Amino acid sequence: MDVSLETAETAVNVSEARTSRQLRVLPRASQTHVLVVGDENSNNKLIKLFKNYKEQSIDIVGFLNVGPRGSLQLRRGDRLQACDELDWVLDRYPIDEVVQLGPCAGINGEDLSVACAVRGITFKRVLQSPLGESGRYSTRHLGNGEYLLSLETVPTNRMALSIKRGIDIVAAIFGLMAAGIAWLVFARRIRRESGGSVLFKQIRVGRNGRHFQLYKFRTMYVTAEEQLSQLAAQNEMKGHIFKICNDPRVTPIGRFLRRHYIDELPQFWNVLRGEMSLVGTRPPIPEEVAKYSAHHQRRLSMKPGITGPWQLAGVKKVSDFEEIVRLDCKYIDTWSLWQDLKIIGGTLLKFCRGEGC
């Protein structure tokens, strides 16, 4: 009989507790109730970020951390409440999410996540990892509670990149047809004026340091490489790049080919092979890359292109290598198919106007 009474009293208490809990939820039923695990004072910046994350209707139930004596304590507004154990807090208050602000001494993150999962409470953990001047983090579930955290600084949208590659292949087919026609029209004059072969081959540096052989119609005299050291003082560029718009090594037919970008047509073979893209950063030579600083290397993190942001801005207007790097990195950071199409359109206008250099 005593057992029955005791059981009945317990049931009543549980019922009252549930009723009390429901009454507390009702005034803020539409809000997301969040328990923050960590020190409120040392994570003010994270708290502000979290409050603005996804939903504006967030109600922070309290801040749970470990007190000076090693026991759990819950701060709710101005009140500081001692807690016997974590389960008591999760069962005592209406909680939708638990957010752990990094490692917290005395609170096992694994136990906390399991306790939340058992109750159907969303668990989130703020990971503090170093971030460079650019990039974004992504995670991949490996199974068994393991996740791969990646810091990515290049575009990773597979669908968009596949479309970009498809555009490259189609453009390369038509570009090589145009290159064949240009060969028939200009090959004999190129040989006669330059004294060398029609095609000029040169080792260039592609994505992340890959070397490949780039093809162009020859626009300079066959002795051009030997004269390079004599013209170093006339370099119109500032930094690790060499360019002279009125280069004396360029043949008369070469000037015409450059002005209309016809000399670039054989590079569509590099595009078809996957060494280059239609749009990207211009591929440097190994000697230039050898002088690069660490931040210059990032311009090599995507496939080089036949045209790109530097060509669109104007080769004659942008003469500082650091500015070229800035343009290239901005292109990588903000890459989109629409941006590529705008660069292609701008390059076609320059082609029609004969604004090549």
pLDDT digits (tens, 9 = 90+) for 139-168: 888 887 788 888 888 888 999 999 999 999
CA pair distance 127, 149, nearest whole angstrom: 10
The answer as to whether 145 is a domain residue is no
Taken in order 18, 19, 25, 30, is the CA torsion positive or negative?
Answer: positive
Q: Are residues 94 and 225 in the same domain?
A: no
pLDDT score of 7 more than 60? no
Q: What is the pLDDT of residue 318?
A: 78
Say if 301 falls within a structural domain. yes
315 vs 224 pLDDT, higher one: 224
| Residue 45: predicted pLDDT | 57
Measure Cα distances from 287 to 234, 241, 275, 292 in Å. 18, 10, 19, 9
Residues 92 and 226 placed together within one structural domain of the fold: no
Among residues 106, 128, 150, the one where a domain terminates is 128
Same-domain status, 61 and 185: no
Count of CB atoms situated within 10 Å of the CB of 344: 17
Phi, psi (deg, nearest 5) at residue 191: -60, -45
Give the SS3 label for residue 54.
Answer: coil
How is 98-124 classified by DSSP, letter by letter?
EEEES--TT--HHHHHHHHHHHT-EEE
Mean pLDDT of 95-111: 78
Q: Which of 71-75, 101-105, 115-119, 271-275 has the lowest mean pLDDT?
A: 101-105
Does residue 1 lie in a domain region? no
Q: Would you say residue 15 lies in a domain?
A: no
Q: Are residues 196 and 266 in the same domain?
A: yes
Q: Are residues 121 and 165 in the same domain?
A: no
Check residue 113 and give its pLDDT: 85
Query: 195-244, pLDDT tens digit by residue?
Result: 999 999 999 999 999 999 999 999 999 888 777 777 776 666 777 777 77
Contact 156, 138 (CB under 8 A): yes
Say if residue 165 is in the same domain as residue 105: no
The phi and psi torsions of 216 (rounded to 5 degrees) equal -145, 160
Q: Domain end: 90, 107, 128, which one?
A: 128
Lowest mean pLDDT among 117-126, 186-195, 197-206: 117-126
Q: Supply 192's token pair.
A: 């006669």
The residue from 128, 150, 178 where one domain ends is 128
Q: Count CB atoms within 10 A of the CB of residue 271.
A: 25
Q: Are residues 275 and 338 in the same domain?
A: yes
Inside any domain, residue 4? no
- Give the separation between CA 320 and CA 310, rounded to whole angstroms: 11
More confident residue, 10 or 69: 69
186 and 118 co-located in one domain: no
Other Cβ atoms within 10 Å of 327 Cβ, number? 19
In the predicted model, what is the mean pLDDT of residues 93-118? 81
One domain for residues 121 and 176 = no
Give yes or no for a contact between 309 and 330, defined as CB atoms under 8 angstroms apart. Answer: yes
How far, CA to CA in Å, does 315 sit from each of 143, 204, 236, 347? 50, 19, 11, 12
Of 128 and 110, more confident? 110
The answer to whether residue 149 sits within a structural domain is no
pLDDT-wise least confident of 57-66, 195-204, 254-263, 296-305: 57-66
11 pLDDT exceeds 50?
Answer: no
Task: Determine the structural domain holding residue 210 and report its residue range.
Answer: 158-353
124 plus 164 within the same structural domain: no
Region 163-188: mean pLDDT is 96
Question: Which stretch of DSSP H or E encloses residue 37?
Answer: strand 32-37
> In which residue are the tokens 């090594």 written?
249
Number of separate domains in the chain: 2
Statement to judge: residues 179 and 269 lie in one domain: yes
H or E stretch at 59: strand 58-66
Residue 152: inside a domain: no
Confidence label for 350 from pLDDT (cuts 50, 70 and 90): confident
- CATH number, position 53: 3.40.50.20
Would you say residue 5 lies in a domain?
A: no
The band of 24, judged by pLDDT with boundaries at 50, 70 and 90, is very low
For residues 171, 177, 180 and 186, what is the CA-based torsion angle, rounded to 10 degrees? -70
For 142, the 3-state DSSP assignment is strand
Q: Indicate if 285 and 173 belong to the same structural domain.
A: yes
